[in-house]
Amino acid sequence: MAKIGINLSTGSLQQEEMIVGIDLGTTNSLVAIIHPESKKPVALKEHGTSSLVPSIVHFDAFGNPIVGEEAKHYLETEPENTIFSAKRLMGKNYNDLKANADFFTYKVIDDGTDNLVKVQVGDSFYSPIELSAFILKELKQRAEHILKTPVTKAVITVPAYFNDTQRQATRDAGKLAGLDVLRIVNEPTAASLAYGFGLDQSEEKTIALYDLGGGTFDVSILTISNGIFDVLSTNGDTYLGGDDFDQLIVKHWLNQLQLPYSVVEKDKHLSQVLRLKAEEAKKILSSQPYYKTADTSIVNQLSALMDKSASFDNDLLHLPISLEQFEALITPHLQKTIACCEAALSDAGIAKQEIDTVVMVGGSTRVPLVKKLVGAYFGKPVNDTVNPDEVVALGAAIQADILAGNNKDFLLLDITPLSLGIETMGGLMEVLIPRNSKIPARVGKSYTTYKPGQSGMRISVYQGERDLVKDNRLLATFNLTGIPAMPAGLPKVEVSFLLNADGILVVTAKELRSGIQQSIEVKPQSNLTDEAVEQMLQDSIIHAQADIEARAITEAKTEGEQLITATERVIEANQSIMTEAEIALTKEAIELLASAIKNATNKNDIRSRIEHLNDITRPLAEKIMDEAVRKAMTGKKILP
Ligand code: AMP
């Protein structure tokens, strides 16, 4: 039971160990708690401000991060130093993002590999984990300022479709921000909790969650039974949201004024102002049938752009739009979201009549037409009584309260107190079962060999929260031997962890092509005191910054070494089509990278040289491709 104390300076009640709920969103993020007096979930906000913190990180001239509303101002003026939508990058490699590369106005590194993406700002390279950590740090500081108490524990929400890598990335971001992440909760589960669903253990329900935010749309179908949430299916469009509505309104106005879009595109200030006006119009149209602006400065600005010889309706300069016009504009988008609902239902194997409740999440569900169409589709009125911007964070706060043991109706399930994982290249810890996972748990991950003809693989099992295995507890180690000789990267070794209800961990490694396997049993909790667990957790937070830097250096070194080997092989095989100057330039870049790998004390030195070598080899790769195509073509004979 968390203790409640009184803050002597303010006289306010405070909980000693406040666990906060955090909605780390694509567009906005926020923190919520269970109010110590009312016992109701509330979103935290400073007096007279919004609870929403834009999920935007701007780096100033000295490379210092600025987060939130202030950072938003730089979106248009310094797009290359202002990172928005970092959540879209979590746990992704460049290939995952390639199709939408134009969306990002900052530099996302294309390294042509499967490695997790990095963002470059000036001379610095950031992982999405670090970027998210800046946002979480800001949220933590705000919460501490408002609550006047340290905040060290949190529940963070993620989309239901996030995979293990993305969830682990979110945990790591929390740790880096100085937060002990007690649980990662699915956003639809949190939203359901905020509506009180699932709190009554006897309740059985099937729920559809319709989440339309600023930039993304998600629909999830979930069932609740015995207080357990099960996400049956998810669907959506990761590039559809309220921002698109704003853009449609801007285009509508320009159409009316017969101004080409290119005029506005060139003028960043004007385009920013128009976008803000469009958002204002959209919000007003949620409660009124008509919008026009009284802002004379934008009217004058537009007037200056107009062709003076042509006659036009002066009223159009006031950017009018009716509800009817707005609804006509957005209807095709909304129809797309309904098609997603249909697909989600079909994947879940559920008829829409079986949905008991439809819940609205995300700021854009304030648009009345959204509620009307979704309600009509499911054949029942939608649930929209909880603030759709806050509903996910409020649910996270409820989950946090349950974890704090404050909600006596909930039985806490058995959980593992520390993460379990294995050692990967460079002595890094790879977590397979994160701490606080429910027991029993089963997880499997695939690995491959590093060297050609490698016949064995050493599996070392560790327990703990640190990034380098040397700082964690070694539980067991064994060798998988007899892997048939194959080129590096071809064998597929699946390592699975099975933690059973008695706390016994069975680790199995199996090479899938040959079928050879080896396994071992350990008891992670033996000889582990509560104090030792507490100490390991504290150490992981204290050393989070140094650990992540050490991990980043090790990863950069491994990547750099692999790139050198691959490039050397390419030079070797393609000497005939490379000029001497090209070979010399490439070798020089290899040398530079090799010396950085040997001597660098920070990841940016290695990353910048990886990027340099990539820049040099990129045109080369095209040349090699062209040559290969030419050879293939000349080899072909056309039959008479
Ligand atoms: P979220 O990502 O959930 O914070 O949603 C943000 C989106 O909701 C933005 O596109 C906002 O413009 C939009 N939004 C907020 N309030 C309203 C409103 N009253 N009417 C229409 N859209 C709104």
Cα separation, 157 vs 144, in Å, equals 20
Please, what is the average pLDDT of the chain? 90
Strands lying side by side in the sheet with 119-121: 107-108, 119-121, 124-126
Ligand 1 center–CA 118 separation, angstroms: 29
The pick from 187, 239, 364 for probing ligand 1's pocket by mutation, whose C-beta has the most ligand atoms within 8 angstroms, reads: 364
Point out the ligand 1 atom lying closest to the alpha carbon of residue 215: 2
How far from each other are the two terminal CA atoms of the chain, in whole angstroms?
A: 87
Residue 408 predicted with pLDDT over 80: no
Looking at residue 121, what is its pLDDT? Answer: 96
Q: Residue type at 161?
A: Y
Where does ligand 1 bind, in terms of residues with CB under 6 Å?
Answer: 25, 27-28, 213-214, 241-243, 279, 282-283, 286, 362-364, 366-367, 389
Confidence of residue 394 (pLDDT cuts 50, 70, 90): very high
Q: Confirm whether 138 is a catalytic residue.
A: no
> Which of 130, 172, 180, 187 does the annotation list as catalytic?
187
Atom of ligand 1 nearest to the CA of 389: 3
In a 13 Å sphere around the CA of 207, the CA atoms on its Cβ side amount to: 29
Question: Closest residue (by CA) to atom 18 of ligand 1?
Answer: 283
- Asked whether the predicted pLDDT for residue 553 surpasses 70, the reply is yes
Q: Which of 462, 452, 478 is nearest to 427 (CA)?
A: 462
What global pTM score does this model have? Answer: 0.83
**pLDDT value at 310 more than 80:** no
**What is the rounded average pLDDT of the residues 167-181?**
94
Tokens read off for 383:
């649930």
Q: Which of 23, 180, 467, 555 is catalytic?
A: 23
**What amino acid is encoded at 76 in this protein?**
E
Domain ranges of the chain: 15-195+390-407, 197-385, 416-528, 544-633
Q: With respect to CATH, is domain 416-528 assigned 3.30.420.40?
A: no
Q: Looking at domain 197-385, which CATH architecture does it have?
A: 2-Layer Sandwich (3.30)
d(CA 637, CA 640): 9
The predicted-structure confidence for 17-46, as pLDDT tens digits, reads as follows 689 999 999 999 999 999 989 999 999 998
The pair phi, psi for residue 431, each rounded to 5°, is: -80, 130
Distance 241 CA to ligand 1 centre (A): 9
**What CATH number belongs to 544-633?**
1.20.1270.10
Average pLDDT score over residue span 232-252:
95
Two tokens, residue 348: 């879940």
Q: What local confidence, expressed as pLDDT, does residue 358 receive? A: 98
Tell me whether the CATH fold assigned to 15-195+390-407 matches the one assigned to 197-385.
yes
Query: pLDDT value at position 409?
Result: 64
Please identify which residue in the block is written with the tokens 């780096």. Answer: 59
Question: What is the distance in A from the centroid of ligand 1 to the CA of 357?
Answer: 22
**pLDDT above 70: residue 8:** no
- pLDDT over 70 at 129, yes or no: yes
Q: How far apart are CA 279 and CA 213, in angstroms?
A: 13
From 52, 250, 282, 334, the mutation candidate for ligand 1 (largest count of ligand atoms within 8 A of CB) is 282
What would the mean pLDDT of 88-110 be, rounded to a whole number?
Answer: 90
279 SS3 class: helix
Q: Nearest residue CA, atom 16 of ligand 1?
A: 363
Check 111, 138, 180, 211 and give the catalytic one.
211
- Helix (H) or strand (E) holding 265, with range, is helix 261-266
Which pLDDT score is estimated for 11? 40
The position carrying tokens 């200056």 is 304
- Whether 69 sits among the annotated catalytic residues: the reply is no
Mean pLDDT across the stretch 575-591? 92
For the CA of 26, the closest atom of ligand 1 is: 2
Q: Take atom 2 of ligand 1 and give the residue whose Cα is closest.
A: 213
Residues of the chain with pLDDT > 70, as a percent, come to 95
Q: What is the pLDDT of residue 44?
A: 97
Annotation says 187 is catalytic: yes
Token pair of 510, please?
A: 């199996």
> Could you give the count of Cα atoms lying within 13 Å of 367 in the half-sphere of its Cβ?
32
Q: Which atom of ligand 1 is nearest to the CA of 241?
A: 10
Q: Whose CA is nearest to atom 14 of ligand 1?
A: 363
- 502 belongs to the catalytic site: no
Q: How many angstroms separate the alpha carbon of residue 49 from the centre of ligand 1? A: 16
Per the rule left: phi > 0, alpha: psi between -120 and 50, beta: everything else, 81 is alpha
Please tell me the predicted confidence (pLDDT) of residue 76. 81
**What are the φ/ψ torsions at residue 556 (nearest 5 degrees)?**
-65, -40
Most confident of 8-17, 20-29, 407-416, 559-568: 20-29
CB-based burial, 362-398: b 16+ in 10 Å, e otherwise: bbbbbbebbbebbbebbebebbbebebbbbbbbbbbb
Query: How many angstroms is it from 221 CA to the middle of ligand 1?
Result: 23
Tokens at 509, concatenated: 């490694």
Q: What value does the mean pLDDT take over residues 433-439?
A: 86
User: What is the whole-number distance in angstroms between the Cα of residue 132 and the centre of ligand 1?
Assistant: 21
Measured in Å, residue 96 CA sits from the centre of ligand 1 at 27
Residue 287 CA: nearest ligand 1 atom is 19
CATH architecture assignment, domain 15-195+390-407: 2-Layer Sandwich (3.30)
Place 635 in a pLDDT band, splitting at 50, 70 and 90.
low
Does residue 510 contact residue 489 with C-beta atoms inside 8 Å?
Answer: no
